[in-house]
Amino acid sequence: MPSRPTRRAVLRGAAGIGALGTAGISTAGTGTAHAGPPRTARPLARRPLYLGTYGQGILACTYDTETGALAAADGGFGDVTNPDFLALSPAGGVLYSTVGGGAEGGVRAYAIGADGALSALGGVQSTGGAGVTHLSVHPGGGYLLSANYSSGSVAAHAIEADGSVGERTGFVQHSGSGPDPDRQEGPHAHQIVTDPAGGFVYAVDLGTDSVYTYALDTGSGALSAVSEVKSVPGAGPRHMVFHPRGTHAYVANELDSTVTAYAHDAATGALTRLASLPTLPDGVDPDGNYPAEITISADGRFVYLSNRGHDSVARLAVEDGGAALRLVDTVPCGGNWPRHITLSPDGALLYSANERGRTIGVFTVDADTGALTASGEPFATASTGCVLPT
């Protein structure tokens, strides 16, 4: 079937996201950050950063690309209910958010102005399920993918020529349960992402202890089932990240405080479960700890994971060609309940969105070792579900 035309060319017209009128602004594009070879000194600059909050809409900030320091900025978007996850278009000129509230969740697009200010593009589109909790943009730029936690379903929407969210083109309802009667009484889709090559779509379901592989028809936008892999029973897989080479993936398990490595077959989309290990240091009681977000350096040497309860960010070394992880250390997250962590586009910084502490922890990343060092005091803000530096 012929492929759906990509929107990249159209969306580039809004790519003034980094232009804040400051000389020397970094022109690094968006993407997975890294802790790679030593970096040369960079001129001080400020770039836009967005916070998806509970109760205060999308807040706009700027960050210092050298120190990571945050400052509040004009240009956010308050008229949206609980936009607790955000994503950028591949070209960087459009921001997408989840929209909570009501019997069905929604997704919406926002144009990013030359000064970083947001303006709505089109209206809210229903995801077809309750409790939308995650979204991502397919690498081709033509579709927005979303996961509905409460109802345990995933959806795809077309992205229109102007970047707005169009009609829902794909929808899959998960079924099943897990051994935890309180958290796994039914399906709970928590994340939906695409592999590095753009070949397959993956949905992580905490309620069914599963990661599902789907094919996305880039002509029609339909999602079709390909395969399923089970976690350790009761692990409660929440979020996953792929190794940049696409050979492996790593899944943060919310219910048993572990992280699991998977082998990935890029040709078939199949995942094969490998070993799991604790996300906490030896001797630390995992009771009351719930891993949340996971991310990886662009060179694939380090994985970072947030521990809610222990209130830390774990650093794990990638070993055995990507097939194994080793816990190196943990550092305090700079607040309480780190729901989301992310690396800056150049890999020099890591941010922790501390939902209950109402702070953003700011860290510098050592280029050689991947070690995290707190940079200044945490930034006080709203209850935040997502932090997105550009």
Handedness of CA 99, 288, 50, 367 (dihedral sign): negative
Q: How many CB atoms lie within 10 A of CB 373?
A: 11
pLDDT higher than 60, residue 313: yes
Give the three-class secondary structure for 16: helix
- Note the pLDDT of residue 44: 59
The residue with greater pLDDT, 19 or 328, is 328
Spell out the alpha helix ranges (H) of the chain.
8-11
Q: Is the pTM of this model over 0.75?
A: yes
pLDDT higher than 70, residue 38: no
The residue with greater pLDDT, 205 or 28, is 205
- Note the pLDDT of residue 218: 96
Domains and CATH numbers, the chain: 8-19+47-389 (2.130.10.10)
Closest CA to 354 of 311, 296, 294: 311
174, 162 in Cβ contact below 8 A? no
